Amino acid sequence: MKKIKLNIEDFFNIPTAVIYNPDYLKSIYHVSIDSRKIRKNSLFIAIKGERLDGHTFIDSAVKNGADAVMINDKYLRKINDYNITVITVKDTTVALGEIAKIWRAKLKTKIIGITGSAGKTTTKEILADLLCEKFKVNKTSANQNNHIGVPLTVLSTNEKDDVLVAELGTNHFDEIAYTAAIVKPDLALITNIGDSHLEFLRNRKGVFKEKSSLLKETIINRGKIFINNDDPILSAFGKKVKNKTTFALNRPADYKASIKGYDKLARPMVEIKSKEKKINVLLPLSGEKNVLNFTSAYAIASELGLSDNQLTKAVTRLKSYNKRLEIKNHKKFTLINDTYNANPDSMKSALDILSRINNRKRKIAILGDMFELGSESKNKHLELADVINDADVDEVYTIGKMMKSLDKKLNGAAKIHKHFNERDSLKKLLASLNINNSVLLVKGSRGMKMEEFVSVIESSNK
């Protein structure tokens, strides 16, 4: 199998590139922005970030064996003379994307692009786990789904990978268009269109405008798109597209899911029907939203040729993912750690799961602010009062400026509720709270660092 590599000709094709010591350049098999991860036949790209400037680590990269370095042209006079190839460009971040495009053109790997307002990371993980039953799979690691992470994900894929499952994130207009043009997906999925990043995308029309760039890029590449027919915005778009597969829980679709029941941890028994297949499984992930996430992944895996036997076997390996509806069943209490992030849709989904878990008597929610909702922020927080009431939550403890408004509206919606202005005060309460025979949900946006409260709960109840 021929290894994918970058040659001197590839670097001459990068806009604004000037190459010094080109005769020194050997074939490049690895690209990194981390000087600590340099190995033989590597290119080190110096990226200037918010906290660190990669140009300060050039000496380290060279010492660790970099065969070439790429820098912003204004730094050329500041670096040492090296007996390796040095490539200058106007902007190394932009050049990283250009290099990833060149690498992508050399790949024979099938690439699946995933985005959405909620559930995109979970769906990526489910799909990768399913596809591993048949294929060699690479996937986006951690939260590497932005203008730097997506190119690095493509560059981490090689000739041995049959499939790449790439997650694309956004919170501003034109970010998906940029990363989708790098990924050039063969298949694409938007999990849903919800109230996420409204501070910058304004409303759901804005969210769709931004995220639909993934579908449009896929269509340009003559790829197939997967449409959530339960989402009215996506369903309307799908009606205009020929090369598509639909999935749904509540509406007709090519892959139609239904929930046959739940166990005590809100894990659903799921049936999925298509023209040629029918599968019944106990999904090891809780909640209705995960049924739809699984159905989309099942549809893609089926279209890529996995049999029902392979899929049924793969389902047993699925698990809740780190800080994303991660359910831990302790001896005296059950904890739902959903602290990775929050928006109105994911918050409602988490509260629904809290209501469905019935292995404990008492239900407690510890909630932090949801960020990036712009002018809709107060209303979206207040709307949670009805959701909490429907979920029959016994106690609600809140923190954050926006959650203070919710607390004032909770009279009658929760037996006990209290807002905290100081993090230490909430930690003190949680450390002393008797949570025997309770199920607790901890959730809030990333900036609220809600995982700290999870640590307090677990350390105080060993």
- Domains of the chain with CATH codes: 8-90 (3.40.1390.10), 107-315 (3.40.1190.10), 326-459 (3.90.190.20)
Residue 77: φ, ψ to 5°: -75, -15
Q: Which residue has the higher pLDDT, 80 or 424?
A: 424
Confidence tier at 197 by pLDDT (50, 70, 90)? low
pLDDT above 90 (res 171): no
The confidence score (pLDDT) of residue 362 equals 96
Mean pLDDT of the chain: 94
Provide, rounded to the nearest whole percent, the portion of the chain with pLDDT above 90: 86
Does this model's pTM top 0.85? My answer is: yes
Q: Which residue has the higher pLDDT, 200 or 12?
A: 12
The confidence score (pLDDT) of residue 82 equals 87
Spatial strand order of the sheet with 278-282 comes to 137-139, 163-167, 110-115, 187-190, 224-228, 244-248, 255-262, 268-273, 278-282
The model's pLDDT over 349-391, given as tens digits with 9 standing for 90+, comes to 999 999 999 999 999 999 999 998 989 999 999 999 999 999 9
The confidence score (pLDDT) of residue 220 equals 96
Q: What is the rounded CA–CA span in Å between residue 457 and residue 462? A: 9
Provide, rounded to the nearest whole percent, the portion of the chain with pLDDT above 70: 99
Task: Give the residue-averaged pLDDT of 280-291.
Answer: 93
For the stretch 344-347, contacts whose Cβ atoms lie closer than 8 Å and that sit 24 or more positions apart, written own/partner, are 344/194, 344/195, 344/370, 344/373, 344/380, 344/383, 344/384, 345/117, 345/118, 345/192, 345/194, 345/195, 345/196, 345/289, 346/118, 346/119, 346/289, 346/443, 347/384, 347/387, 347/443
Task: Give the residue-averaged pLDDT of 156-160.
Answer: 97
Q: What is the rounded CA–CA span in Å between residue 33 and residue 388? A: 45
The model's pLDDT over 69-101, given as tens digits with 9 standing for 90+, comes to 999 999 998 888 888 999 999 999 999 999 999
The model's pLDDT over 261-282, given as tens digits with 9 standing for 90+, comes to 999 999 999 999 998 889 999 9
The confidence score (pLDDT) of residue 142 equals 83
The confidence score (pLDDT) of residue 399 equals 98
The confidence score (pLDDT) of residue 57 equals 96
Alpha helices in 221-282 (DSSP H): 232-238
Task: Give the residue-averaged pLDDT of 169-193.
Answer: 93
Which of 108, 102, 148 has its CA nearest to residue 7?
A: 102
Task: Give the residue-averaged pLDDT of 145-159.
Answer: 97
The confidence score (pLDDT) of residue 314 equals 96
